[in-house]
Amino acid sequence: MKTTIEIAPALLERGKRMAQDEQVTLRTLVEEGLRKVIAEREQRPAFRLRKVPFTGGGFNRGFEGGHWNQVRDAAYEGRGA
Protein backbone atom coordinates (compact mmCIF):
# COMPACT_ATOMS: atom_id res chain seq x y z
CA MET A 1 0.00 0.00 0.00
CA LYS A 2 1.30 3.44 -0.83
CA THR A 3 1.06 6.37 1.54
CA THR A 4 2.72 9.71 2.07
CA ILE A 5 4.45 10.67 5.30
CA GLU A 6 6.50 13.70 6.27
CA ILE A 7 9.93 12.97 7.70
CA ALA A 8 12.38 15.54 9.03
CA PRO A 9 15.04 16.13 6.35
CA ALA A 10 17.98 15.20 8.59
CA LEU A 11 16.30 11.96 9.67
CA LEU A 12 15.44 11.08 6.08
CA GLU A 13 19.05 11.60 5.00
CA ARG A 14 20.33 9.41 7.83
CA GLY A 15 17.82 6.75 6.86
CA LYS A 16 18.82 6.87 3.22
CA ARG A 17 22.50 6.56 4.10
CA MET A 18 21.82 3.63 6.43
CA ALA A 19 19.68 1.90 3.83
CA GLN A 20 22.44 2.32 1.26
CA ASP A 21 25.13 1.09 3.69
CA GLU A 22 23.06 -1.97 4.56
CA GLN A 23 21.97 -2.51 0.97
CA VAL A 24 18.27 -2.43 1.79
CA THR A 25 15.50 -0.07 0.78
CA LEU A 26 14.37 2.88 2.84
CA ARG A 27 10.98 1.18 2.90
CA THR A 28 12.56 -1.83 4.62
CA LEU A 29 14.03 0.40 7.33
CA VAL A 30 10.77 2.28 7.84
CA GLU A 31 8.77 -0.95 8.12
CA GLU A 32 11.30 -2.46 10.52
CA GLY A 33 11.21 0.64 12.70
CA LEU A 34 7.43 0.75 12.72
CA ARG A 35 7.23 -2.93 13.65
CA LYS A 36 9.62 -2.36 16.57
CA VAL A 37 7.70 0.65 17.88
CA ILE A 38 4.36 -1.16 17.63
CA ALA A 39 5.73 -4.27 19.38
CA GLU A 40 7.30 -2.15 22.13
CA ARG A 41 4.13 -0.21 22.79
CA GLU A 42 2.00 -3.35 22.78
CA GLN A 43 4.27 -4.74 25.52
CA ARG A 44 3.68 -1.75 27.82
CA PRO A 45 1.28 -2.32 30.66
CA ALA A 46 -1.97 -0.41 30.33
CA PHE A 47 -2.10 2.84 32.27
CA ARG A 48 -3.91 2.43 35.54
CA LEU A 49 -4.89 5.35 37.66
CA ARG A 50 -3.80 4.66 41.20
CA LYS A 51 -6.44 4.65 43.88
CA VAL A 52 -6.34 7.65 46.14
CA PRO A 53 -8.78 7.33 48.99
CA PHE A 54 -10.85 10.31 49.93
CA THR A 55 -10.88 10.79 53.67
CA GLY A 56 -13.01 13.89 53.84
CA GLY A 57 -16.48 14.08 55.20
CA GLY A 58 -18.20 14.80 51.91
CA PHE A 59 -19.66 18.13 50.86
CA ASN A 60 -19.49 21.15 53.10
CA ARG A 61 -22.72 22.18 54.71
CA GLY A 62 -24.87 24.07 52.29
CA PHE A 63 -23.91 21.88 49.33
CA GLU A 64 -25.49 18.63 50.48
CA GLY A 65 -28.12 17.66 47.96
CA GLY A 66 -27.21 20.69 45.92
CA HIS A 67 -26.98 20.88 42.18
CA TRP A 68 -23.66 20.88 40.30
CA ASN A 69 -24.24 24.51 39.23
CA GLN A 70 -24.19 25.55 42.87
CA VAL A 71 -20.87 23.78 43.48
CA ARG A 72 -19.33 25.19 40.28
CA ASP A 73 -20.46 28.73 41.02
CA ALA A 74 -18.94 28.53 44.49
CA ALA A 75 -15.64 27.20 43.11
CA TYR A 76 -15.35 30.17 40.73
CA GLU A 77 -16.71 32.77 43.11
CA GLY A 78 -14.62 35.93 43.07
CA ARG A 79 -12.60 34.83 40.02
CA GLY A 80 -14.51 36.87 37.46
CA ALA A 81 -16.05 33.85 35.76
3-state secondary structure of 41: helix
Q: What is the mean pLDDT of residues 64-70?
A: 82
Helix extents (H) in 1-81: 9-22, 26-43, 68-75
pTM over 0.75: no
Q: What is the mean pLDDT of residues 59-67?
A: 76
Instruction: Give the per-residue pLDDT at 78.
Output: 85
Q: How confident is the model at residue 29 (pLDDT cuts 50, 70, 90)?
A: very high
